[in-house]
A and B are shown apart, each in its own frame.
Chain A
Amino acid sequence: MERENTLLVVESLQTQFFTYGGVVKALDGISFEILNGEIFGLVGESGCGKSVTAASIIGLVQKPGKIISGKVLLEGEDLLQKSDREMNRIRGSRISIISQDPTSALNPLFKIGYQVSEPMIYHQGMKKKQAWKGAAKMLHQMGIPDSSGKARNYPHELSGGMRQRALIAMALSCSPSLLIADEPTTNLDVTIERQILNLVRELQQNFGTSVLWITHDMAVIAEMCDRVAVMYAGNIVELADVRSIFKNPKHPYTVRLLKAIPLSEVSGKELDEIPGAVPRLINPPSGCRFHPRCQEAMTVCKEDKPEGVDLASGHMVACHLYS
């Protein structure tokens, strides 16, 4: 359903990897929308396809991966139809991405100021001096003290938290409409993570950027996101606003996942386990990919893949219990 304030529409996106061992069906036709100015969470365990989703949106799917079908509409334009050259223009200026490890995302040979100003020079045609000033300003907005001084530092002279801030500065320097954050706080300590979460929330409000926040940590989702999509084995199994996901989860996987997290209220007791393990996506289970591990599985679950069903107020579940 297209609305006025929809920024990104992903429709039936299918991505596969053609490896030596067979075809890995990483994304099995996922669909979701991100509105203007919202923080959209994509949550799932390892191997569910969250990072592949990010790569597919921004056009960075590497061989042997290939986007088989689907649409990715950014403000109405289909990104999958664009040439490499056009995507280069879009990356960094309209969509930016920050990843898990700030250390490896920064070039150790160049100063921070240079790296932050690079997108401005490339996309906005700024002159070096002007871009450098802009970079210092961005670093200041990221809460880095003495930003003009720090701009002249190299990445290894900065701490982990500051590197992540510098990366965010680089990502936001051209005011993109969408920021993809792929597990940006997973490797950070809790205190630094808190600072980064606060920072992103603040920036998002000030700049109006939409954020696609990808993580496996449900607590961060609860903190940050407006709406959430839960992924399992290449499918979105549930999509709703954040309160509904936590207070009123519908899909059996979401329910079990939430129960498996050690909560502060119920310490020391047995945690709920999900039997079995995440399937290999070379030969995924037939029908609903969660059915081998689902306590409520019915015969139809083995045969047909459940389509997303809209429950009240935008709460989508892909489960035969509800269709």
Chain B
Amino acid sequence: MKSPPFIMLSSRYRILKKRLHPLTKEFGLTLYVLRKSLLAMIGASIVFIFIFIAIFGSLISPYDPNEIDISFRFYAPTREHPLGTDKLGRDVFSRILCGARYSIRAGLVVLAIAVPAGIVLGGIAGLLGGWIDEVIMRITDVFLSFPPLILAMAFSAALGPSLFNAMMALSLVWWPLYTRLVRGQALAVRETLYVEAAISKGASRWTLIFRHILPNCLSPILVTFTLDMGWVITAAAALSFLGFGAQPPLSEWGRMVTDGRIYLFQAWWVSMFPGLAIALTVLGFNLLGDGIRDALDPKLRRITEVKWKEKIRF
């Protein structure tokens, strides 16, 4: 006899709550392991500040980043302009605050294209094998054999220099990495005993792919993604530095570095501080990425779990 809908709902809710519990426990353990590493926490703080600036930069910046005031050109760092001013009298600090958004946008857009493309292509290659695998892998190899920046420059040059084109170019450079990564994982997971067990119990192809193989391919992606954010930001900044990316008057950090290049000896702060911002951001993502990798490492988790379980009892 079928139970009336509202009872079904509440029992469904109960089951859902029970199922959520282990997930939240795992997540809690991940956070705990992360918190234990000083370097990871430093990285996380940097990343957090970066994201904060990227979102709220224009609200908290003391000056309009595009406000030109020739009378204040090339001011060394003072109390009113803590990081100095550039050749057009714009406040460097404000420009940095407002420039963060371009970097994060670059990172997110590039990876939003590269990661799904990589998952799909890598998944197909790893799971179907045979000639499809060969074809996809050879194409991947071709793209990987190009020095990434050169490829991106060529693309940008062909389509015209702009931040958008630079992001597209970088996506082209980045997808092979994820394809390789996912393919390797898919190949490994395919051979595991639990997949064989599922097959032996009659699991369909789709069940195998979406319930078993895919979820087990994802954790290295998270780590690589975090690390890559830093690298994509650097690459975008490099492209802008070379003139192929963001164009003036955008206060993208790479652009700022190149704008101040000629005046490096007279007004070092114009290039130095955006450069430092890039370096710090990359460092932050690197530290955080390493921390996440350690936090997801099963061995480490097993050892730390004991202490964590004790803690959460209180």
Q: Which residues of A contact B (CB under 8 A)?
A: 19-22, 280, 282-283
Contact = CB atoms under 8 A, between A and B. Distances in A.
A283 to B, nearest CB: 8
19 contacts: A19-B303, A20-B33, A20-B36, A20-B300, A20-B303, A20-B304, A20-B307, A21-B302, A21-B303, A21-B304, A21-B305, A21-B306, A21-B307, A21-B308, A22-B306, A22-B307, A280-B306, A282-B306, A283-B306
Contacts of B304: 20-21
A18 to B, nearest CB: 11
Can you list the 8 inter-chain pairs with the closest CB atoms, starting with the nearest? A21-B306, A21-B303, A20-B304, A19-B303, A21-B307, A20-B303, A21-B304, A282-B306
Contacts of A282: 306
Nearest to A280: B306
B6 to A, nearest CB: 43
Contacts of B305: 21
Interface of B: 33, 36, 300, 302-308
Nearest to B307: A21
Contacts of A22: 306-307
Contacts of B302: 21
Contacts of B303: 19-21
Interface class of chain B by DSSP: helix
A283 B305 CA distance: 13
A283 B306 CA distance: 10
Nearest to B304: A20
Contacts of A20: 33, 36, 300, 303-304, 307
A250 to B, nearest CB: 33
A309 to B, nearest CB: 33
Nearest to B33: A20
Contacts of B306: 21-22, 280, 282-283
A17 to B, nearest CB: 9
A19 B300 CA distance: 9
Nearest to A17: B303
A22 B309 CA distance: 12
Given A21-B303, A22-B306, 11 more contacts: A19-B303, A20-B304, A20-B307, A21-B302, A21-B304, A21-B305, A21-B306, A21-B307, A21-B308, A282-B306, A283-B306
A21 B306 CA distance: 6
Nearest to B306: A21
Contacts of A280: 306
B178 to A, nearest CB: 31
A62 to B, nearest CB: 14
Contacts of A19: 303
A24 to B, nearest CB: 9
